[in-house]
Amino acid sequence: MRADSRSARIQVLVAEQAARRGAPVGVVDVCTAAVAALPVGGAGVSAMSRTAASHPLCSTDTISEQLEELQLTLGEGPCVDAFTHGAAVLSSDLLTGGLQDRWPVFADAALEAGARAVFALPLQIGAISPGVLDLYADVPTVLDAEQLADALAFADLATLLLLDARIDGTGAQAGAPPRDHGLEDLGGYRAEIDQATGILTVQLGVGIDEAFVRLRAHAYTQGRRLADVAADVVAHRLRFLPDSEPKRTDNGN
Amino acid sequence: MNQQLLAKTFVELADNLVADFDLIDFLRLLTDRCVSMLDASAAGLLLADGDGKLRVMAASDEEVRLLELFQLQNDEGPCLECFSTGAPVIVPDLTREADRWPRFVTAAHRSGFGAVQALPMRLRAETVGALNLFRAAPGPFDAPDTLIAQALADVATISLLQQRSTQRSTALNEQLQTALNSRVLIEQAKGKLAERQSIDMERAFTALRGYARAHNRRLSDVARAFIDDSEPLPGLVT
């Protein structure tokens, strides 16, 4: 990852929030860092799923908390749309643009709560979509290109942190290195990582989210780069097994 | 250049830019046409992500080694140069560039390529990606062909904007991110299908795309349904 990259800079901002809190980096630090960096008053993250109940995970203030709960209770709002369509929903002013028609109950309730602009950014890596990052401002607000790019980078980091939080429970080894380890692969995108994730859904018989978590957990515990582990999986040099450790094979090409 | 083929291709591309078209499916068609029209052996389209890293959106062949050759250009190569300068990079003889791009030239040679060009995908003042064309034999590129290649790169850029307007998004970088994510979805589906059917990545891609076309569905919708196991998809999965 280039040290001057956007994702690297965002990662530092989030790590600073965690250090201030004296805790390992978590999704809540993405929220506080986003509020500090962007022209918004609050931020919140909800865990969302197509098959299970959605629930709020964290928020920086009571307005954010209300916005998360409102949307999940009502089943409408920018965060619901962002999750459904897999694309950001940027509402710079809830009083305009027919938004009160689009979300008849939510728009009024959100205004009542004190929000005027709401931005919902889906947390996603292809078909993996564990939730949504919501930002709000109490005045009409347009994010410029740089701010929006930063907001998207905050959402990317929140995605990995949310998935990382599941690693402990999914076959990663005890004594795994502490958190914050895996974020280096934010900037190391390789198509093989996505292909390997798809391959693991078959080898392990699990859903796409868990396949990705298991792939990353293996890379951490072995102290290897995610892209290298993924390349081994794609080339059939490494095979994951449902009930035991991944096995190296020699039938690679 | 065969004028009839050229006209037919642009009509075909325009025909495919219908409402609710699938971006990845469309860009694959475009790279395929680059190969058939432009005396190219392989073609790829790369788009920059939020970190300015180039990512493959479509390629005329999904084989792993070709994708590698595109990805490698995040470190060095004509695409990186084209993207950072916003100008075409034309290399008639790759063997002469071994000092400039040692790793890229070695990898391109190993894949059997002797010449390469990279053309910018430009949007107003911004360069958002590049079209990369490889040819097996070294030698000069026809100037008219390069103009057509640039026109095809421009069509690729237009398709991104078209996608943008159909999705009601107002922000370009958000729309690029959505486009990149649709490619991630395809890679995940390719991996799952390749593993399940014991086929290679190119066959997995063409099977997904063939299923989508036969059932008049968007490729990304089929890919998601396949990953989520939310539909039986008879004929795709045996």
For B179-228, how does the pLDDT look when each residue is reduced to its tens digit (9 = 90+)? 999 999 999 999 999 999 999 999 999 999 999 999 999 999 999 999 99
Helix ranges, chain A (H): 6-21, 27-37, 62-74, 78-85, 99-102, 104-113, 145-164, 191-204, 208-222, 226-234
As for how many domains chain A has, the answer is 2
The answer to whether residue B225 neighbours chain A at the CB level (below 8 Å) is no
Quote the domain boundaries for residue B83: 3-170
Q: Do B174 and A196 touch (CB under 8 A)?
A: no
**B115/B23 same-domain check:** yes
Which range has the worst mean pLDDT, A140-144, B19-23, B93-97? Answer: B19-23
pLDDT classification of A184: cutoffs 50, 70, 90: low
Q: Which residue on chain B is closest to A189 by alpha carbon?
A: B55
**B149/B191 same-domain check:** no
| Contacts within 8 Å (CB) and 24+ apart, A173-176 | A173/A221, A176/A217, A176/A220, A176/A221
Residue A37 has what pLDDT? 98
**pLDDT per residue as tens digits for the range A64-82:** 999 999 999 999 999 999 9
**B104/B188 same-domain check:** no
Q: Residue A76: how many CB atoms within 10 A of its CB?
A: 16
Residue B106 has what pLDDT? 95
Confirm if B62 and B201 have CB atoms less than 8 A apart. yes
d(Cα B1, Cα A220) in Å, to the nearest integer? 53
Residue A51 has pLDDT above 50, yes or no: yes
Residue B67 has what pLDDT? 86
**B107/B164 same-domain check:** yes
Torsion of CA A226, B31, B174, B129, to 10 degrees: 80
Residue A251 has what pLDDT? 57
Instruction: Report the CATH number that the domain containing residue B49 is assigned in CATH.
Output: 3.30.450.40
Residue B20, helix vs strand vs coil: coil
Q: Do B184 and A2 touch (CB under 8 A)?
A: no
Residue A185 has what pLDDT? 53
Q: Do B191 and A87 touch (CB under 8 A)?
A: no
Structure token digits, residue A203 = 């080898």
Residue A252 has pLDDT above 50, yes or no: no
Quote the domain boundaries for residue A205: 191-248
Residues of B in contact with A198 (CB under 8 A): 187-195, 227
Q: Is residue B178 part of a domain?
A: no
Residue A142 has pLDDT above 90, yes or no: yes
Confirm if A195 and B56 have CB atoms less than 8 A apart. no
Q: Is residue A16 part of a domain?
A: yes
Instruction: Report the CATH number that the domain containing residue B192 is assigned in CATH.
Output: 1.10.10
pLDDT classification of A3: cutoffs 50, 70, 90: low
Task: Looking at the complex, report in whole angstroms how far the Cα of residue A82 sits from the nearest Cα belonging to chain B.
Answer: 11
Instruction: Report the CATH number that the domain containing residue A19 is assigned in CATH.
Output: 3.30.450.40
Using CA atoms, how far residue A47 sits from A9, A112, A158, B13, in Å, is: 25, 24, 11, 40
Calculate mean pLDDT across residues A192-206: 97
Residue B169 has what pLDDT? 56
Q: Is residue B237 part of a domain?
A: no
pLDDT classification of A247: cutoffs 50, 70, 90: confident
**B166/B197 same-domain check:** no
Calculate mean pLDDT across residues A108-116: 96
* Cα-to-chain-centroid distance, residue B4: 24
**B195/B109 same-domain check:** no
Residue with tokens 């680059």: B34
Q: Is residue B235 part of a domain?
A: no
**pLDDT per residue as tens digits for the range B48-84:** 998 888 999 999 998 878 888 998 898 899 999 999 9
Calculate mean pLDDT across residues A189-199: 92
How many interface pairs between A and B have CB atoms less than 8 angstroms apart? 114
Domain termination residue (choose one: A149, A165, A181)? A165
Largest CA distance in chain B: 53
Residue % of chain B over a pLDDT of 90: 74
As for how many domains chain B has, the answer is 2
Confirm if A85 and B167 have CB atoms less than 8 A apart. yes
Burial status of residue A250 (CB atoms within 10 A of its CB: 0-12, 13-18, 19 or more):
exposed
**A213/A122 same-domain check:** no
- Exposure of A9 in the CB half-sphere (CA atoms within 13 A): 13
Instruction: Report the CATH number that the domain containing residue A208 is assigned in CATH.
Output: 1.10.10
Residue B66 has what pLDDT? 87
Task: Share the mean pLDDT of chain B.
Answer: 91
Residue A54 has pLDDT above 60, yes or no: yes
Residue A174 has pLDDT above 50, yes or no: no
> What type of residue sits at position B83?
F
Task: Share the mean pLDDT of chain A.
Answer: 88
Residues of A in contact with B189 (CB under 8 A): 127, 198
Residue B172 has what pLDDT? 80
Task: Looking at the complex, report in whole angstroms how far the Cα of residue B179 sits from the nearest Cα belonging to chain A.
Answer: 10
Residues of B in contact with A145 (CB under 8 A): 171-173
pLDDT classification of A178: cutoffs 50, 70, 90: very low
